[in-house]
Homo-oligomer: A and B are copies of this chain.
Amino acid sequence: MPQTTIFDELESQVRSYCRNWPVVLATAAGSVVTDENGTEYLDFFAGAGVMNYGHNHPDLTEPLIDYLRSGAIVHSLDMHTAAKREFLESFREYVLTPRDLDYRVMFPGPTGTNSVESALKLARKVTGRQHILSFTNAFHGMTLGSLSVTGNAMKRQGAGVPLTNTSTMPYDQYLSGVADDFQWLERVLADSGSGVDLPAAIIVETVQGEGGLNAARPEWLRALQDLCRRYDILLIVDDVQAGVGRTGTYFSFEESGIVPDIVCLSKALSGYGLPMALTLIRPDLDQWEPGEHNGTFRGHNPAFVTGAAALKRFWADDTFQNEVQARAAELREGLEKIASGYPDAVVKGRGLLAGIEFPDKAAATRIAAESFRRGLLVETSGPDSEVLKAMPPLTITSQELQRGLGIIADAAAEVLGDQTVA
């Protein structure tokens, strides 16, 4: 039986990544994954933003195996465990305290959408309001509440019911810089006749990982926070993809200096691909009844173990952060160089979450396919998959980064030809 027969026969039509990369993955280490036939792929995908520390980082593997070997408890819902305690202590020591952040930590279930749903519920409960504002091209998850703040039309239609109690506002630069920032949002909040109900919260990604790598400017984020405070609206930052170092700091919003009321984290939290999510809550907003939001897999101890190990290994001082920022600069430079060869191609994103939007909306998909043929996993982003999206492990070496950029450059040239004006 061919290697992939069972997938074709048994698995649902809903699968997608395996259609573009139709191989069977076997092993992975750092920034390289290898298929069953021994073919290696450089990884500019990082498990959709999960593998920030690279695949199978040995400093995480060992504590994980030790934990499992020791007979320690694996699954514990919201009961106390030693592993959870260590995670919480590490999170306080390496994340909250150095950044002078005061949050309560909620374990809402192990996925990003669990965290987003919990954030929306809490915001509505605390404020007594029902409306939520989100932004154009936002992506917050696939369960009904998260979907109602997600922009993508195909995914929205998948709900099969109207998505309600939300309105979309223009993200930074959405109106091409022609209109004033916040002109629309500011007006609808100020005008009691606008027809946009005063919201419980505004939910925002600082970089829209799925929506086309739009990156909000720090001043826009600060102005957004100001607007929220002026109207007593909670500000939720969904840092599921952009958080945990992806943009060069632990939280993606650090650069701007804002302090969200609620923060959603998941993906790279465990550092090892093990499902885990957190919702950070401003202490006075922590008005949950016990059990008012719950879920079975809130106490996934292997994830606590690798998560705590990752915090200790990467966030005890600035070394890692500085390296990430250096890599981010290299990535930006490399992408700019490639983009410069194609009229109207534009570099987007921030940190190690960056890419190129080509004027030909079909180009990115074709370049990603050609890159795969050349040994690079790289995906696209945006409503029309119009942005080539580079999101390598944060631990990628400079050499690997350059190699990947080279593959993209070659693939782009292959797909688009040399478009330099002579």
Contact = CB atoms under 8 A, between A and B. Distances in A.
Per assembly, the copies of the chain total 4
A309 to B, nearest CB: 14
A384 B192 contact: yes
Contacts of A175: 179, 183-184, 187
Contact of A73 (B21, B25, B192): B25
A200 interface: yes
A27 B164 contact: no
A404 interface: no
A307 interface: no
Given A3-B85, A161-B162, A142 B294 contact: yes
A148 interface: yes
Interface in A45-72: 47-51, 55-56, 61, 64-65, 68-72
B28 A74 contact: yes
Interface residues of A, number: 154
Contacts of A4: 80, 85
Interface stretch (A152-160, A224-232, A244-252, A318-326): A152-160
A39 interface: no
Given A10-B105, A175-B179, A275-B297, A69 B65 contact: yes
B193 A211 contact: yes
Nearest to A278: B12
A80 B136 contact: no
B164 A162 contact: yes
Interface stretch (A118-126, A335-343, A408-416): A118-126
Interface in A286-304: 286-297, 300-302
27 contacts: A7-B80, A10-B105, A13-B290, A16-B78, A18-B78, A24-B82, A26-B73, A47-B76, A55-B75, A56-B74, A74-B272, A75-B273, A109-B142, A112-B296, A114-B142, A121-B160, A123-B160, A136-B188, A136-B191, A136-B195, A144-B145, A144-B146, A158-B289, A161-B162, A168-B195, A170-B187, A273-B300
